[in-house]
Amino acid sequence: MKKNAVRVLTAIFAVSLALAACGGGQARDTNRLIVIAPGGEAPSLDPVLANHPASSQVMRQIYNTLFNQDSATLAILPGLAERYQFEDDANGQPTRLRLFLRQGVRFHNGDYLTAGDVRFSLERAAASPVIGFISRQIQSVEVIGDYEVLVTLVAPFMPILNNLAHTAMSIVSERAVIEGGADFARNPVGTGPMKFVNWIAGDRIELTRWDGYFGPAPRIRDITIRHISDPATALLELETGGADILLTVTPHDIGRVQADPNLRLIRTMGLGMNFIGLNNSRPPLDNVLVRQAIAHAVDKDALVRSVFQGVGRPGSAPVPSTVWASAAGQLQPHEFNPDRARELLAQAGFPNGFATTITAANAASPRDTAELLRNMLAQVGIDAEIRILEAAAWGTFSADGLQDIGIHSWSTVTGDPDYALEILHSRSHGAAGNRVFYSNAEVDRLLDAARMETDRGRREQLYLEAQRIIHSEAPWIYTHEIEIVAATRSDVRGFVASSTVHHPLWTVYFE
């Protein structure tokens, strides 16, 4: 064989190896990032219409908020508001928040951001039934100048900066919303680093770099966020190069990712909590002794091992341990003790147990939790029937208070304990978050006082006291603190998993 022919064959062989390494038999486009985000398709990309993880993940790329949170520390950073100052009202209370906006920021439609857009966005959010629990502390928004806004609060509300960093409080273009009408939810216009391009229902959302972005230019040109609900299919796409990042790796697949030299596993504790909710409005769960008995009947360690295969850790307080002011490690645990559970049931007047129903959404971990819980309750004489509902139906069912025992989850995405505990305030019954219909006047008082308290140390003590009361009354059994497990191709750089699960993607590039 001639020397030139050998060189040609060698080159062909080298190219073939490179293509095979990329997966799918074709070269990967290093200008396009392909991300798989399981967990349901985004219902909307309008910030005031969807407080949903899938929506927030996409909106994080398209919009900006007045304040940002550091992905690693959750520290509050400037966003569209370059600086701020609290001011006292006539009663000497810090109810006025003056915002000084960044100048020269352009929306994706070319319009420049003004204070009018901020007022429009905040007033629109305040009127939204979906996110009212975030914004209902805002009494009024006043435009002072083109780049200055005065927000007046109903009362002092110290978590306000964290809440304004939530994706639900993203700033939108007033003109784009009015002109877009109902179509705005599927054709969003923001000021973020990535611009919306296309949405193929049930398949993917496509974004492209916004060259008019006021911050550091994205390292990637295009981002495709794919919706693949089947975990096995999603992982196969990552393995074969059909995707670059998989935002959720199931516990079952962790070993498989670790064994693949072409993949990198990323793990970080999140702000989320899985919990068993005991509906306080439905007998006999309205009896605190019954709730305490159920708490002693649940083996959290076994549940984490079985359902989550050791990923994450057992919960020990109403506020996750990753959030400041958590009482984790400071409360006397409801240890797994079936004998004690039976004693408490007898004291409550149920020596032979009772019949109840466990309701859960139709997803793997809620279903598995419900099944394991039924077996644990059977050991103490409680006969539980399992009811599985699709996610939307489960949301309505639980908001209406029709469940006895429910399998729930909640994430403190603002990083502030107010957000974690507001869903146990009596004003939040039903769709607002308190789906166990728990009411305690002292807890309400403590939570109200904490959100108005300007001293962080005093705020912490108020939250700790509220958690002690909640723990003793057992409306929740906090079973599992959620760990975020993601994976990338080995040549992906710049991806930082956020504990909020709203991961920034525009910082990603290829080695």
Please tell me the distance from the alpha carbon of residue 172 to that of residue 63, in angstroms, as a whole number. Answer: 7
Contact by Cβ (8 Å): 191, 108: yes
Can you read off the two tokens belonging to residue 325?
Answer: 């002011």
Can you read off the two tokens belonging to residue 284?
Answer: 């006999």
The tens-digit pLDDT sequence of the chain (511 residues) is 444 444 443 343 333 333 333 444 446 788 999 999 987 788 999 999 987 889 999 999 999 999 999 877 888 999 999 999 999 999 999 999 999 999 999 999 999 999 999 999 999 998 887 676 676 789 999 999 999 999 999 999 999 999 999 999 999 999 999 999 999 999 999 999 999 999 999 999 999 999 999 999 999 999 999 999 899 999 999 999 999 999 999 999 999 999 999 999 999 999 999 999 999 999 999 999 999 999 999 999 999 999 999 999 999 999 999 999 999 999 999 999 999 999 999 999 999 999 999 999 998 899 999 999 999 999 999 999 999 999 889 989 999 999 999 999 999 989 999 999 999 999 999 988 999 999 999 999 999 999 999 999 999 999 999 999 999 999 999 999 999 999 999 999 999 999 988 999 999 999 8
CA distances from 460 to 417, 457, 465, 484 (A): 9, 5, 9, 26
Radius of gyration, CA atoms only, the chain: 25
Please tell me the distance from the alpha carbon of residue 270 to that of residue 499, in angstroms, as a whole number. Answer: 4
Please tell me the distance from the alpha carbon of residue 95 to that of residue 471, in angstroms, as a whole number. Answer: 32
Contact by Cβ (8 Å): 238, 246: yes
- Placement of tokens 């910030």 in the chain: 47
Can you read off the two tokens belonging to residue 246?
Answer: 């998989």
Residue 110 has φ and ψ, to the nearest 5°, of: 95, -15
Residue 280 neighbours by CB distance under 10 Å:
22
* Cα 26 from chain centre: 35
CA distances from 103 to 66, 83, 177 (A): 13, 12, 21
What is the DSSP track for 435-476?
TT----HHHHHHHHHHHH---HHHHHHHHHHHHHHHHHH-SE
Task: Report cis status (omega within 30 of 0) of the bond before 284.
Answer: yes
Residue 511 neighbours by CB distance under 10 Å:
9
